[in-house]
Structure 1
Amino acid sequence: MKNTKTYRPNYPLNQFIDVIWAGESDNYEIQAIHHAPLFTELIFNYGDSFSINGQNVEEFNFQNNQQILSGLKTKPFHTEISGKYLNVGLILKPFCYGLIARQINSSRIGDLSEILFKQFLIKAKPDLKKIEKELFKLFQNSRLENDLIKFETYLNKNISEPKRIKDFNNLISISQKSFIQKFKNTFHITPNEYLRLKQVNHAIIKINANKYKNLTSLGLDCGFYDQSHFIRTFKKYSGLTPKQFVKG
């Protein structure tokens, strides 16, 4: 049996991390395929085998402990876990992949691995204030560029309205080519791929909450041009058509 606890950090850490989770099990076996998520995840593995196969995944080790950084994706990915399960994970904002990737070889990750292990997996009651203070050191010198903030705002405004990168580019002072490169340096996917990722995840949230009339209206509500566009994009990012996803 797997025991998992979750925590939601406070400001200012919640600008970068949505959820901190810790999981334990003497023996846990799973092989699973997941749809492309709208978050980056950093996992500290102190147990046995834990692997993630997909786009934008980096594995590294400090002091014989495995860390896995999993970024944004444009297609499904696969996880495989076996043996002793002892992990702490950070569900990060989408833009955090580049921020963490640049620090992979720093001692800060190793120090953080020790702190998280002690606080979540040794102590009966973790010191959340100390944990948040240590985690914020990863981001305290980081700032998301203004053009990227503007793009996020543009996408979130009236989600059901179809969006085009060309239209957004009229709102900023750099060329479309320069913006795409700037975006890829941080998110590791293109702006258009990110838009589709947001639309698909928005549709999945509505499906899981049963907040839609039918699949045709769902696609339009999530900003897709038509049903064909919705089905094709949804299948690319999730591995299933919307109808197959609803059936489970």
Structure 2
Amino acid sequence: MATVYYTIPPPVQLAPYIRFFWVLESDQPAYLHHAMADVCPELVFHYQGQFDEVKANGRREKSSISGLQGQTSHTSRFQINECFGIFGTYLYPYTLSLLFGIPATEIVDQYTDLNGLLGADGKRLEEKIMGAADNGERVQLLSRFLELRLKSISSRDSSSAICASMHLIMQSGGCIKMDALAQEACLSLRQYERNFKELSGFSPKIFSRIVRFHKAFNAYSPASVNTLAQIALECGYYDQSHFIQDFKQFSGLNPRHFFSGKAEGLDWMRV
């Protein structure tokens, strides 16, 4: 099997809240995972094996079996020395605020145990996900759980102006004027920035920078012949130096090393 990574689309009724489900599995005796800055939070379930988080000083701390990775502006490293299987749910930035009433600013740059986050409901969900026969059943279980949450908060408007503007920023690759978005939302720029941060965890400027970084990150292809200057231009950077600065900040890697295909901890991208 080596390393396997794939995504699964969500049910139509959950598509405004979930970008996709994902699965990462490996039978390698050792695996290093390099996580990067991201505007989207994730629900993560380790149904086989358990990773350690590798701290900056090299110390390793055991991560929880299930939890929520909040949207983050920095990088993390995780390691495991056995076969593993992970089931994840890649959410939109506003989903946790809308479905669970959790302020985005409280989970930014945090990994929270699912039991601590959702109490008894989190414990029951974890037990069901761990006991599922396969990832198809895990998708069904988590979809039902989130659909129940959706019914309980039906009064909240998932198509609000702020949510819509987040989609516009992501669709534009982070290249859109904030004053235009504020005007579209019928808010002053200050009101827009405050409301945006409450729902996304980031200011519109930082949010857009991370989205633009992801556009550059996703430009990776083993067959690509584009120079760093070409990638920077295509992704809306003013110049190559701004591109390199952002890429280092949000990935912890020099883009030249990343685009060489030799960076460690990114095996899932190459499968």
Measure the CA separation in 2 of the matches of 1:70 and 1:53: 16
Structure 2 residue 176 is the aligned partner of structure 1 residue 163? yes
State the number of aligned residues: 236
RMSD: 3.5
Structure 2 match to 1:108: 121
1:12 to 1:223, Cα distance in 2 relative to 1, 3 A: same
Superposed CA offset, 1:10-65 (max 9, x none):
211232223334566788543332322353211123555334579xxxxxx9xxx7
What SS does structure 2 have at the residue aligned with 1:152? helix
TM-score, normalization: structure 1? Answer: 0.75
Measure the CA separation in 1 of the matches of 2:252 and 2:198: 26
Superposition pairs of residues 1-248 of structure 1, within 5 angstroms:
6-21=7-22, 29-47=30-48, 49-52=50-53, 66-83=65-82, 85=84, 87-98=86-97, 99-100=99-100, 102=102, 104-120=117-133, 126=137, 129=140, 131-140=142-151, 141=153, 143-144=157-158, 146-156=160-170, 159=173, 162-208=175-221, 210=223, 213-247=226-260, 248=262
The alpha carbon displacement at 1:237 in A equals 0.8
Contact 1:32/1:78 (<8 A) preserved: yes
Measure the CA separation in 1 of the matches of 2:258 and 2:178: 28
1:144 to 1:209, Cα distance in 2 relative to 1, 3 A: farther
1:145 to 1:53, Cα distance in 2 relative to 1, 3 A: farther
Contact 1:28/1:85 (<8 A) preserved: no
Contact 2:213/2:246 (<8 A) preserved: yes
Measure the CA separation in 1 of the matches of 2:5 and 2:247: 30
Runs of 5+ in structure 2 lacking a partner?
56-62, 103-113, 263-271
Measure the CA separation in 1 of the matches of 2:40 and 2:171: 19
What SS does structure 1 have at the residue aligned with 2:210? helix
TM-score, normalization: structure 2? Answer: 0.69
Runs of 5+ in structure 1 lacking a partner?
55-60
Higher mean C-alpha displacement, 14-23 vs 236-245: 14-23
Contact 2:16/2:158 (<8 A) preserved: no
Contact 1:206/1:212 (<8 A) preserved: no
